[in-house]
Chains A and B, each alone.
Chain A
Amino acid sequence: MKVALFVPCYVDQFYPNAAIATLELLEKLGCEVHYPKNQTCCGQPMANSGYEHLTGACNNLFIGNFSGYDYIVCPSGSCTLHIKEHLHSHQNEAMAADIRKRVFELTEFLVDILRVESLDASFPYKVGLHQSCHGLRGLRISQMTELVAPPFSKPAQLLDMVKGLELVPLNRADDCCGFGGTFCVVEEAVSSKMGKDRVDDHIAHGAQYITSADLSCLMHMEGILRRQGSDVKVIHVAEILNHSIK
């Protein structure tokens, strides 16, 4: 199985360990993982700011980088969703459509494609699971609390396989953290308040780590935790799932 690793720009630049964990995890689960080295960004920062019309070159670059693989796997729900919903190309629409079908967020790939049923991982800590909105309501990797439908959660299902890990309950299971791309600077006041309230919910329930399938949310919450001088840390779900599979 030929898998292309899609590492979002900010993960590449700021959170290489999450990408390394994703790569190692996929390899240990038997995937032939390739990292197209000319990748940059999915174009979402422009598109969500209203500049989708500027993402043409970015899209073509993405198509060039990621064509010809069985699957494209990304440790970010938000970037995956952007590709799934907005990757288009005047020159190569057929290839764009093909990529839109093949791109997966990591936890949905592990559960739906690799059908992982056990993991040799251990992480003996209390962990709060933050549902990123794009992974949740866009990719539907977990059930949304607004809907009258049976509950499930792909990241929680995987975390349950990790030895010693205790998932803490939250008062608001899937409220937004307030990152929202450029929202975090344009609407600074509301954004940071949202982040603060999310972090408080995890802390109140004794979480030692906050994890998520999306690093953008974690980066936001980490910024708040560190400003508060908190001991609570953020960690990408891949780093937990890859923890001590040696």
Chain B
Amino acid sequence: MSSTATKDHPQLAAIFNRDEPRVDWHDETLWWVRAKRDIAAHKLPEWELLRETASQIKNNVLSNLSSYLEQFEANAIKNGVTVHWAADAREHNQIIHKLLSDKGINRMVKSKSMLTEECHLNEYLLQQGIDVIDSDLGERIVQLAGEPPSHIVLPCIHKKKEEIGDIFHEHLGSAKGESDPKILTETARQHLREVFLTRRAALTGVNFAIAETGEIVICTNEGNADMGAHLAEIHIASMGMEKIIPQRKHLGVFLRLLTRSATGQPITTYSSHFAKPQDGKEIHIVIVDNGRSIQLGREDFRNSLKCIRCGACMNTCPVYRKSGGHSYHTAVAGPIGSILAPNLDMEKYADLPFASTLCGSCSNVCPVKIDIHDQLYKWRQVIVKAGYTPKAKTLAMKGMAFTLASPALYRAAGKMGRWTFKYAPFAVNNGANPWYKHREMPKAPEQSFGEWYAKRKDQHK
């Protein structure tokens, strides 16, 4: 993360684009996932109704979140689960550290949780002397590589199998040069089985939390959440507070949408419903706010809290596909990340809402119908008004607004500017014109349409 912290999306994307065959490979891989999603969606004639229903359920959740949270907590406690509340990332990390240190545990296995990425839990626990091993294969790979995940569902989608082979050779002792996914997966299986069998604590994320029953649902294909949780003495589940759904029957909507949107599978291999701890063991649920209650209060952006983390918006986003997840320099990349991150730190993530052409494909694939591209547009307005844009850009925009508000000025600027490209609104920039790097300028015509029209009118008189 440190190397990317000071660069913005355009700079990081430009670095990613230095290796064009790799961009093509990344783009094709993700487009293939999008294509699988399309096939899966088209198998259900009721797909659009399903999306609309899911969106409405989440509307209901967001409008009654406080009472659902209280209901969930009461039912979870009734089930014998311990519930904790964390206002921010720091408190979340501290709660988990205390749970572990109270039991004298210094090693933990963890399945996929984007929330713990958001909270930088691994780094925090490492500083406290606690070793965390990520058990999702993709997460384990990026963990060994010392990188954050680049995609919320496909954490190491940016890595080639040869690179993974090298990492496994170095850390897990696989044969040098081995890059067969089957063999590498088997290597990880052996390594992680040992981890599952020896860890007293397991942390998981939460896909859905049901207010009506107090149970949590966790979805994986690998079975790593279950292996960790069932073998450990203590199962800690980190849960963003927006994960609530009202009733168990609503899973019949969300589980039909989640993986079809994510990877085109009809469902994950495992959809595990944890209600009560096993005899003699413990389940702890940490409900995390970390800016979510603030986002809930932003009328234009609250719908972003409907997100069920399927990653479909990333797979379809041409900018994500051609810039890579790390260029977003935040835990959740892509279009959804670009509307979530400014809520956490508007200055740091001021570039992200601009990392989009507003093409709108993200909103169309979103299983809960978040108006992602409209929110990107709205964040731009907020960020500009808050003063997080370069002064030169603001000056240029003011000049443009002034010119375009006056027909006379516009015509004059056009006469001069047609040749210099200076006033073409899409090319407002400072210094060398980036358009020209890979693209020719439009050819300047003899006359503008306005000029042609005036002459034509004269002729017709």
A residues at B contact (CB < 8 Å)? 7, 9-17, 19-20, 23, 35, 37-41, 43-55, 57-58, 60-61, 133-134, 136-138, 144-149, 172, 174-176, 178-197, 216, 219-220, 222-224, 226-227
Report, as a range, how many residues of chain B touch the other chain: 35 or more
Residues on B with beta carbons closer than 8 Å to the beta carbon of A227? 438-440
The majority secondary structure among interface residues of chain A is helix
19 inter-chain pairs at a CB distance below 8 angstroms, sorted by A residue, are: A13-B448, A14-B442, A46-B397, A47-B377, A49-B354, A51-B394, A58-B401, A61-B406, A133-B360, A137-B361, A144-B364, A180-B356, A187-B9, A188-B434, A188-B437, A189-B10, A189-B17, A190-B318, A224-B439
Interface string of B372-405 (1 = CB under 8 A from A): 0000010011011100010001100110111111
Interface contact A187-B319, CB-CB below 8 Å: yes
User: B38 contacts which of A19, A145, A184, A185 (Cβ < 8 Å)?
Assistant: A145
Residue of B nearest to A197 (CB): B27
| Minimum C-beta distance from A36 to chain B (A) | 10
CA–CA, A16 and B385, complex, Å: 36
Which of A39, A190, A222, A224 has most chain B Cβ within 10 Å?
A: A190
Interface contact A188-B435, CB-CB below 8 Å: yes
Q: Is B110 at the interface (CB under 8 A from chain A)?
A: no
Residue of A nearest to B415 (CB): A13
**What is the total of A-B residue contacts with beta carbons within 8 Å?**
242
Given A49-B397, A179-B426, A185-B429; A13-B418 close (CB under 8 Å): yes
Residues on A with beta carbons closer than 8 Å to the beta carbon of B454? 37
Interface contact A194-B322, CB-CB below 8 Å: yes
Which 4 pairs from chain A and chain B are nearest by CB?
A223-B439, A180-B357, A50-B384, A45-B425
User: B357 contacts which of A39, A44, A183, A223 (Cβ < 8 Å)?
Assistant: A183
Residues on A with beta carbons closer than 8 Å to the beta carbon of B449? 7, 11-12, 16, 19-20
Interface contact A45-B17, CB-CB below 8 Å: no
CA–CA, A80 and B377, complex, Å: 17
CA–CA, A180 and B359, complex, Å: 8
The majority secondary structure among interface residues of chain B is helix
Which of A138, A144, A184 has most chain B Cβ within 10 Å?
A: A184
Interface residues of B in 1-56 (CB under 8 A from A): 9-10, 13-14, 16-17, 20, 23-24, 27, 31, 38, 41-42, 44-45, 47-48
Interface contact A196-B397, CB-CB below 8 Å: no
Given A37-B450, A187-B13; A13-B414 close (CB under 8 Å): yes
Which of A38, A40, A46, A134 has most chain B Cβ within 10 Å?
A: A40
Given A16-B448, A61-B407, A146-B364; A189-B439 close (CB under 8 Å): no
Interface contact A185-B433, CB-CB below 8 Å: yes
Interface contact A148-B407, CB-CB below 8 Å: no
Interface contact B397-A176, CB-CB below 8 Å: no
Residues on B with beta carbons closer than 8 Å to the beta carbon of A45? 400, 425-426, 428
